[in-house]
Amino acid sequence: MAENTITFDEKVSGWTSFHSYIPEYMTNLNNNFFTFKDGQLYKHNVETNGRNTYYGTSYNTEVEISSNAAPSEVKIYKTIEIEGNSPGWDVTVITDLDRGHIDKSSFTKNEELDNTYNEGIYSTHIRRNTDDEVNTELLSVQGIGNLDLIAGTTYTFGTVPTTTSVGDVLYQAVGGSYNRIGTITNKDGTTITVGTAAIVPSVNDFIFSAKSPIAESYGLKGYYASVRLVSNSTSAVELYAVNSEVSKSFS
């Protein structure tokens, strides 16, 4: 059974697009495109109807591109920049070594580039996924030490590193696994308090903190990147180009 409808572009002599709608029959009449579905006749490309709506069902617009410059080098993909008339794209970035995302609300307009190119330029940093929070290879994970004392949800140590901050997440290390304790709401030189504790650690347990993977937007590492943009808009959305700030990784 067919899963997509594909279209052929005579200008490039190739199959250029995949469509989610699957008609029973298609025809062209007087420069109009018609399809049949469940015995009903539908006319396509009608400006008064919502875009990406077929047979009463709305679909997303998805664009997927690959970045593979300098393929023999490991790179850091830091940002995504959209040139178009709208920042309304949710983005997923997957490299061979890492994964990340961008919510469309995170894009901001670059006024300086807009004045230069007279087009809509929207950019933001790539966010790491939340399941990357306890990646101990990252600098965003900070060991605190063995737990000396417990009083409710307040934990006392010999010292608390200055790099551990309110908003970080506290973890208990047990063998090769990690248990989430809770989000830090207060700290001083020797104590840390969490709002609500998911588990109760024990004295002498090794404790560490991890910063938010979304806030710590240092980028994604990889030889190449696959970038998928998704828009759920039923209005016209134009996309001219997708760019990324990329640097060579030396780690």
Mind listing the pLDDT tens digit for each residue in 93-132? Answer: 999 988 899 999 999 987 665 554 446 889 998 987 766 6
pLDDT in tens, 173-184: 988 888 999 999
Rounded percentage of the chain residues whose pLDDT exceeds 70 = 89
CB-count burial class (<10 Å; 0-12, 13-18, 19+) for 184: buried
* CA–CA distance, 129 with 106 (Å, rounded to integer): 14
Q: 183: how many CB neighbours lie within 10 A of its CB?
A: 16
47 Cβ neighbours under 8 A, 6+ residues apart: none
CA-CA distance, 60 to 25, in Å (whole number)? 23
Measure the CA–CA gap between 239 and 227, rounded to whole angstroms: 14
pTM: 0.69
Token look-up 């004392």 returns: 149
Which domains, ranges and CATH numbers included, belong to the chain? 5-59 (no CATH), 62-131+217-248 (no CATH), 134-210 (2.40.10)
Q: In whole angstroms, what is the distance from residue 137 CA to residue 135 CA?
A: 5
When pLDDT is averaged across residues 166-175 and rounded to a whole number, the result is: 91
**Residue 131: per-residue pLDDT:** 65
Phi/psi at 89 (5° precision): -125, 125
47-53 contacts: CB < 8 A, separation 24 or more? 50/234, 50/235, 51/233, 51/234, 51/235, 51/236, 52/233, 52/234, 53/234
Position 117 scores a pLDDT of: 47
pLDDT tens per residue, range 148-157:
999 999 999 9
